Amino acid sequence: MTWDKILVDVAGMVLIAFIVWFFWLVKTKGVRAPLASGGYQEQMVLVKGGYTPDVIVVEAGKPVRLNFVRQESASCTEMVLLPAFGKSAKLPEGEIVPLEFLPKEPGEYEFACQMGMIRGKLIVEG
């Protein structure tokens, strides 16, 4: 085995890992918000050219806290709206902004920037 062959093998494995990860991520129905202290289902959401994760799964009947962190200065994402729960928040760059609410009914709810260009989805399971 020569170094260039090892490099090709390693590159191949990295590529395979990436493909597996990519398709696994696409296939999963979002990220399940883990239960944090205080009984909140808590999830960090990165705001940078979109929401990451953009599909968040929670359980109905337990309070939810989404911690938005905006890491860009584009004005598009300076606010996030969660109309189904009557919530909205300003997202100053680099600050963690929690959005708390109690999902009572199972369903799919959208959160988006104030213009609706950047979107994410909250899936509430019964």
> Residues 58 to 97: which contact Cu ion by CB under 5 A?
76
Would you count residue 115 as binding Cu ion (CB under 5 A)? yes
Long-range contacts formed by 48-54: CB under 8 A, 24+ apart: 48/72, 49/74, 49/118, 50/118, 50/120, 51/111, 51/118, 51/119, 51/120, 53/120, 54/30, 54/119, 54/120, 54/121
Using the rule CB under 5 A, give the single segment among 11-19, 43-51, 90-98, 111-119 that binds Cu ion.
111-119
Q: Is 105 helix (H, G, I), strand (E, B) or coil?
A: coil
Our CB check for Cu ion shows the closer of 40 and 51 to be 51
In the bound complex, what is the minimum distance in angstroms from residue 19's beta carbon to Cu ion?
Answer: 31
Would you count residue 113 as binding Cu ion (CB under 5 A)? yes
Would you count residue 15 as binding Cu ion (CB under 5 A)? no
In the bound complex, what is the minimum distance in angstroms from residue 70's beta carbon to Cu ion?
Answer: 12
**Residue 66 and residue 43 in contact, taking contact as beta carbons nearer than 8 Å:** yes
In the bound complex, what is the minimum distance in angstroms from residue 56's beta carbon to Cu ion?
Answer: 19
Helical residues (DSSP H) of the chain, grouped into ranges: 3-27
Q: Contact positions toward Cu ion, by CB under 5 A? A: 76, 113, 115, 117
